[in-house]
Chains A and B, each alone.
Chain A
Amino acid sequence: MSQFLSYAIPGLPYGCVFALLGMGLVLTYQTSAVFNLAFGAQAYASALVFYVCVSDGWPTWAAFLVSVVFGAPLLGVVIDLGLFRFVRSRPVLVKLVAALGLLIVIPAVLQVAFGTSNRYSPPSLWLSPSTVYFRVLGDPINGGELSTVIVTAAVALLLSLMFHFTQTGLRMRAMAESPRMVQLAGLSAERVGMTSWMLSSFLAGLAGVIIAPVFGSLQSLNFTQLLVAAVAAAAAGSLVSLPYTFLGGVILGILEEVLGGYLPSGNVLSSGLRPGFPFIVLLALLLFLPGLRRRWGRTDDPLAACDPPPAPIASTMRDPALYRATRIGTTVFVIAFVLSCLTWITDNWVFTLSQALALSIVFLSLVLLTGMSGQISLCQAAFAGVGAFTAGQLAMHFNLSILVGIVAAGVVAALVGVVVALPALRVGGLALALATLAFGLLADNIGFQFSWSLNGDSGISLPRPTLGPINFSSDRSFFLLIIVVLAICIAIVEAIRRGTTGRQLAALRGSELAAASIGINPARTKIGVFALSAGLAGVGGALYGSLDSSVSASDFNTLVSLVFVVVVATVGVYTVEGAIEAGLAYVLLNNLVTSSLPSSWASLLEIVFGAGAVVYVLHPEGVIEYLKRFAIEHLVRGGGERAEAEVLA
């Protein structure tokens, strides 16, 4: 018992931080219908500002005022004013991409502002962690732990008093029902929303500053991982109840430490299982908490139908003459492009373009999944990783050709996709996004660390394939192989779009209720498409690995997955061209940043695509798709038809 307690008591402060973050998530989800994935990044921002102020010699209280009391709510106001107030009644995808954009932009901007140097041993807020204040059953309680518990308890108490006994609390609860109804009652929904953003951002900032000393150094990824624990806590409260969220967070923190205490140390499983624990809890909650499923099924405002329908995508607006011209133009361009790559373009560029096209296959999997089926996966990079290690290990241990390996990669990734999707697909939207996020982080922490998979950061090697007399070891021949595989993948996606499955997916996206009522099996259709999408990602991953000759876990980590979603959504997730344009944009910009700009600009790529995700909120069809539509309306069709298009839009 005393051993149990000696593990459990240090877990309490962790639990408190999870609880703080979880309560903040519930608060914003309730009042603005946004599941703020950038919450961890907000916590990181406050922790970083606090660190910088203290290391500049400021007194702790002044640093706290700037970073948490004023800074954090200010950040909340900025992201509410600049972004989230516009997305409330938008589809889940739009909200998620907006939040992901922030999750990527905030740390990147901070890196540019404060530099990328390592920041070791973050300072503590209040009581010193090195002083032991008293002992519980012989276990020392230090200042850090004590202050965390006291601050969290005080905040939770104040929050619950505010919610139940003040007018602001009542208004926030009304916002949870419908902001339009709040407006109709004569209140400013914007103001109530902003108050809740300030409050939740304050909680994020506070949690960030409190938890920072626990990490050896300040890194944004630590805070992103913290988010999953917070999501699990919020899930324990079914996304509505602050007390249950609080309790969920505290219990989770304690269990995590107890688990860490009892597990043997020294192998991959035990070192990965502890950080992986919140993800497992989240998956279990998704599976077994029926109230949560209902809550996550509900995504919109009862008055959301007041919103105008989205604009039509450019490809549906082409008139026949324009369509023919585009088709001929595209064909000529593609042939010229391939011939150029095979002849006069330098090897370096052919390699870069090959990378872009291999990534396009991974991005194509998102076009199929997100654009056509309306589902969101935050672990496409993990599926690509599964594909890469399948092909690599088969080549290494069974001497199998990479070409066979690529097919096997698709099959294995598809099977893994089924396993991931089965529990979450019944719930849909946000739950699937979170389940895939949890899976991606589990793969990072455990799956990809084994020597039989990607062997952690040491990586594995993948040979270039040969096919009978044809050897694909040169960059140009491999480029040709990638073109062929890409063409096959495009044909698959287009075949599905034009076939029955595409119609079923469009129906399911429109109304799952009505789709089932005409005989469509929602679960089977969605799982089929999810598996196919995972398979495509696996094929893309295997090709990408074979092109680079080696891959490691860091090539396919969760951050990469998140960037993938943001890039494709920004460029255009509804069309096949969108995937290719996204692949080219990503690799070419990356090349530009790493080769031509000073190292302090390394995070420019994240800022560009993160900001692109924010623009995406205004143009959910994707930036390039929007530009095409703009061009068709304004340059080609002229005024009269433009008016007609606007009426349609």
Chain B
Amino acid sequence: MTEVTSTSTQAKETSAADAADSTATAARPSAGSGRGSRPLLEVRGVTKRFGGIQALSNVSLEVAPGETVGLIGPNGAGKTTLFDCVNGLMHPDAGTVIFDGQRIDGMPVYRRARLGIGRTFQKIELFAGATVREQLMVAEREKRGDGRLWKDLLWRGAPSPEEVDEVDQMVKSLGLEDVADTPAEAISLGQGRLVELGRALVQRPRLLLLDEPSSGLDSNETTALAAVLTVVRRDFGTAMLLVEHDLDMVAAAVTRVYVLDFGRMIASGPLDDVLSDDAVRAAYLGQAPLAPS
């Protein structure tokens, strides 16, 4: 892997990105939210190529603890690739990923998960054959991290009453009681997305990567999901990075957004500012004015 790209390369952003950055600085959490100086997640100059295709080109972003940040852009912009680089499913060709002050690019997926990075998937990934409750219980047990083969062999591997309780509560707060003992294959897509979310939340992640959580959901399900996200933010203080095409949902959830296009970060800042940015309109939204209703 290529060595770290420093802040000097980071400075070589395009003029569009520079323009957007200047609008964004006012909204930077470090300056605006007063949550302390160190961001929870820092992505610096990440580059990823697939053969001849430049999927990510010198992309940088930050998420502060407890902050919800949107990541938008047209299909194929590289949003999921960026998620994969943060969560470890892919390793960037260049650049660094820093989580809570610790460099994590190069770490395998499971270790990043143990540090507190949870995620959901654009193409839903449930444990086939397991019931909703079991899906959450696996995650709950992993959170405790004290499951060992030898403990199982001594018949000490059964979940404790607290763990069962915790899972029950999560099932309840997601409104999944009716399907709690149904296998993953037999539930609807909307419920499946909630289960994925619950599986991540049970682990109390510090950062949650949400990859198009409302895709394939009807408007009722989307509303329910948005409500859950609000509760999560309020009660758990989880930081979130949200990839989403539904701009209403983005507007309701985030403090600011980053815009990716063809693997390049072309703008960042509060949603309204970004949507009125010329570069964003030209590259992503077309020429017609567009704002969340």
Contacts and interface: CB of A to CB of B under 8 A. Distances in A.
A513 B196 CA distance: 12
B147 A501 contact: yes
A501 B146 CA distance: 11
Given A499-B151, A517-B118, A518-B138, A312 B110 contact: no
B32 to A, nearest CB: 31
A519 interface: yes
B211 to A, nearest CB: 11
A506 B137 CA distance: 12
A509 B114 CA distance: 20
A645 to B, nearest CB: 12
Given A511-B125, A519-B145, A503 B138 contact: yes
Contacts of B110: 516-517, 519-522
Given A509-B128, A510-B126, A519-B203, A501 B157 contact: yes
Choose among A498, A506, A514, A517 the residue with the greatest number of B CB atoms under 10 Å from its CB.
A517
Nearest to A649: B186
B128 A513 contact: no
A514 B192 CA distance: 13
A170 interface: no
A638 interface: no
Contact of B125 (A495, A499, A513): A513
B199 A504 contact: no
B77 to A, nearest CB: 22
Nearest to B128: A510
Nearest to B114: A519
Nearest to B117: A517
A528 interface: yes
B237 interface: no
A52 to B, nearest CB: 47
Chain A interface main SS type: helix
A471 B118 CA distance: 58
Interface in B138-153: 138-139, 141-143, 145, 147-149, 151-153
Contacts of A518: 113, 118, 138-139, 142, 199-200, 203
A504 B134 CA distance: 11
A648 interface: yes
B114 A514 contact: no
Nearest to A506: B130
B41 interface: no
Given A499-B158, A500-B157, A519-B145, A309 B185 contact: yes
Interface string B149-174: 10111111110000000000000000
Contacts of B128: 309, 509-511
Contacts of A308: 185
A310 interface: yes
A464 to B, nearest CB: 28
B109 A501 contact: no
B108 interface: yes
A507 interface: yes
Contacts of B152: 495-496, 498-502
Contact of B158 (A498, A513, A519): A498
Interface string A431-451: 000000000000000000000
B184 interface: yes
B153 A528 contact: no
A509 B129 contact: yes
A507 B127 contact: yes
B109 A514 contact: no
Interface string B89-113: 1000000000000000000111101
Interface string A516-541: 11111110000010001000000000
A492 interface: yes
A498 to B, nearest CB: 6
Q: For the side of the interface on B, what is the size category?
A: 35 or more
A515 interface: yes
Nearest to B203: A518
B138 A511 contact: no
B48 interface: no
Given A309-B128, A510-B128, A511-B128, A503 B113 contact: no
B186 to A, nearest CB: 7
Most buried by B among A504, A510, A519, A532: A519
B113 A519 contact: yes
Contact of B129 (A500, A510, A513, A515): A510
B109 to A, nearest CB: 4
B87 interface: yes
A513 B118 CA distance: 12
A564 to B, nearest CB: 24
B127 A506 contact: yes
Contacts of B108: 516, 521
Interface in B184-237: 184-186, 196, 199-200, 203
B149 A517 contact: no
Contacts of B121: 513-514, 517
B183 interface: yes
Contacts of A514: 121, 125-127, 196, 199
A270 to B, nearest CB: 41
Considering residues A309, A500, A510, which has the most beta carbons from chain B within 10 angstroms of its beta carbon?
A: A500
A309 B131 CA distance: 13
A504 B154 CA distance: 17
B113 A500 contact: no
B119 interface: yes
A491 B155 CA distance: 9
Contacts of B127: 506-507, 509-511, 514-515
Nearest to A524: B110
A495 B145 CA distance: 18
A517 B109 contact: yes
B183 A309 contact: yes
Contacts of A504: 138, 142, 147
Among B127, B138, B155, the most chain A Cβ lie within 10 Å of the Cβ of B138
A509 B203 CA distance: 20
Contacts of A511: 125-128
Contacts of A517: 87, 89, 109-110, 113, 118-119, 121, 125, 200
A503 B148 contact: no
Contact of B138 (A309, A507, A516): A507
Contacts of B203: 518-519
Contact of B137 (A312, A495, A503, A519): A503
A197 to B, nearest CB: 29
A312 B142 contact: no
B149 A528 contact: yes
A416 to B, nearest CB: 18
B186 A648 contact: yes
Given A509-B127, A519-B113, 20 more contacts: A309-B186, A491-B155, A495-B153, A499-B155, A500-B148, A503-B134, A503-B137, A504-B147, A506-B138, A510-B129, A510-B130, A514-B199, A516-B113, A518-B118, A519-B111, A519-B143, A520-B110, A520-B138, A522-B110, A648-B186
Interface of B: 87-89, 108-111, 113-114, 118-119, 121, 125-130, 134-135, 137-139, 141-143, 145, 147-149, 151-158, 183-186, 196, 199-200, 203
Q: Which 8 A-B pairs have the closest CB atoms?
A: A499-B157, A500-B147, A510-B127, A499-B152, A309-B185, A519-B113, A516-B109, A514-B125
25 contacts: A312-B183, A498-B157, A499-B153, A499-B155, A499-B156, A499-B157, A500-B148, A501-B149, A504-B142, A506-B130, A507-B138, A509-B127, A509-B129, A510-B126, A510-B130, A514-B196, A515-B127, A517-B110, A517-B118, A517-B121, A518-B118, A518-B200, A520-B138, A521-B110, A522-B110
